[in-house]
Structure 1
Amino acid sequence: MAVQISPSILAADFARLADEAAAVPNADWLHVDVMDYHFVPNLTLGLPVVEALRKATDTPLDCHLMIADPDRWAPQYAEAGAGSVTIHAEAAKAPIRTLREIRSLGARAGLALNPATPVEPYEDLLGEVDMLLLMTVEPGFGGQKFLDVVLPKVRRARELIGRHGGRVWLQVDGGVDTGTIERCAEAGADVFVAGSAVYGASDPVAAIDELRAAANRATS
């Protein structure tokens, strides 16, 4: 598994997003948390900001839609230039159709699960996704403490992915830092969203390098 780091701009300075994107040239992705104040109790940003970011950075955008109607909106994020669009299983009414539409528009399709949502019922959808995202905090706010209770689910997800050929990326999001990333990597995750651990650091580039090294140590 190749370790990938996706810094979350939720922890960045929203008044300087282009500069904040440029501050992490060694990132594999730029994680964009889209919240609508319905699915989660927070409101962040939407399509116009994604379109602007796409023009401002060469780093591919990893859009995580924490919204109430992803079936309607997800394809538009792919059309806006997102490299990856992730919808929540808890919110999607027609996940297979939506995931296939995301893919048809040239983006990677992701499916996200909240901490209390079991992974087993979604095993049959693994053929429809490029990435499975397991939330390691309750969605809606940055800076939360990592939930260790999710680690067994990460291991089960890795087993299920292996059963289906192992091509699906396994992403974790929430409370990821140098103290938790090794446990996540050891459990089977290979894509890591980090907000405060990167944008709260004095040197975001060095912070990404440290996170990547810690994850690689756990899998070497």
Structure 2
Amino acid sequence: MTKEILIAPSILAADFARLGEEIAAIDAAGADWIHCDVMDGHFVPNISFGADVIKAIRPMTKKVFDVHLMIAPVDPYIEAFATAGADVITVHAEAGPHLDRSLQAIRALGKKAGVSLCPATPEAVVEYVLDRIDLVLVMTVNPGFGGQSFLESQIEKIRRIRTMIGDRPIRLEVDGGITGDTAAIVAAAGADTLVAGSAVFRGKNGAGYAANIAAIRLAAEAARVAGLHDISAQPARARETARIR
């Protein structure tokens, strides 16, 4: 079954001085999920925020909190993020020695479980945990910083993971360099959940955020409806389609 396209703005690109207001704004602007990038300065070369911040902003919206843990070790912190209000907790396949155990821990806390793959990580690492997960997150940039350029090398990985998922009720999420242009490419490859940071928050206000979210959604849905299955091999065509539609 084809899943609806979901847009998950990453609050890493928000104005942290007005974080509560920013979350309320993207909620009203049409965000489906709120993507929370947690970085530890160890697994990735940056530090963002922790469970206390997520707990503080949780009352600002009823939308799904999609919490992406870019931390290692990850197991000791899963419960804290679950208690803080995460709905989906995604861990990196590269962040610990026992991925299956980490996923069991998330599900035991009543949360949906996701696995994220860095660009150099092959999709085969999720093969034996497919029945324990609700989401696969493909990084289309190297994790650690916002505003990076999209890596087209990940398009075929997205396609292969879509095939692996088959009819399972697993969302295929993409994070990194997502804009109106690249949204069409990843949606045609099989992604159904798109994380966008800079491309949403460059709008500077609620009306701008709404326009940016709508443009990303429209590009992704148009690519899916048009059946542009060869779009990844023709990025120029994808961009032109996104503009026209």
Structure 2-normalised TM-score?
A: 0.87
> What does residue 217 of structure 2 align with?
212
Correspondence 1:1-220 to 2 at 5 A: 1-25=3-27, 26-162=30-166, 165-202=167-204, 203-220=208-225
Q: Is the 8 A contact 1:31 1:64 kept in 2?
A: yes
Tell me which stretches of 4 or more aligned residues in structure 1 moved more than 3 Å.
Answer: none
% identical aligned pairs: 49
Q: Is the 8 A contact 2:178 2:196 kept in 1?
A: yes
Q: Is the 8 A contact 2:35 2:195 kept in 1?
A: yes
Q: CA deviation at 1:80?
A: 1.4
Give the structure with higher Rg (CA): 2
Of residues 91-100 and 76-85 in structure 1, the stretch that sits farther from structure 2 once superposed is 91-100
Structure 1-normalised TM-score?
A: 0.96
Residue type of the alignment partner of 2:108: S
> What does residue 231 of structure 2 align with?
none
Paired residues, number: 218
Q: Is the 8 A contact 2:92 2:116 kept in 1?
A: yes
Q: CA deviation at 1:74?
A: 1.8
Q: Is the 8 A contact 1:75 1:98 kept in 2?
A: no
CA distance in 2, matches of 1:50, 1:85: 12
Q: Secondary structure at the match of 1:110?
A: strand
Q: Secondary structure at the match of 1:179?
A: helix
Q: CA deviation at 1:201?
A: 2.0
CA distance in 2, matches of 1:99, 1:2: 25
Q: Secondary structure at the match of 1:197?
A: helix
Of residues 117-126 and 192-201 in structure 1, the stretch that sits farther from structure 2 once superposed is 117-126
Residue-by-residue CA offset, 1:58-83 (whole Å, 9 max, x unaligned): 22211100001111112221121111
Q: Secondary structure at the match of 2:131?
A: helix
Q: Is the 8 A contact 1:18 1:57 kept in 2?
A: no
Q: Is the 8 A contact 2:32 2:63 kept in 1?
A: yes
Residue type of the alignment partner of 2:76: R
Q: Is the 8 A contact 2:93 2:125 kept in 1?
A: no
Residue type of the alignment partner of 1:18: G
CA distance in 1, matches of 2:59, 2:80: 16
Residue type of the alignment partner of 1:3: I
Q: Is the 8 A contact 1:154 1:184 kept in 2?
A: yes
Q: Secondary structure at the match of 1:40?
A: coil
CA distance in 2, matches of 1:195, 1:13: 11
> RMSD of the alignment, in Å?
1.0
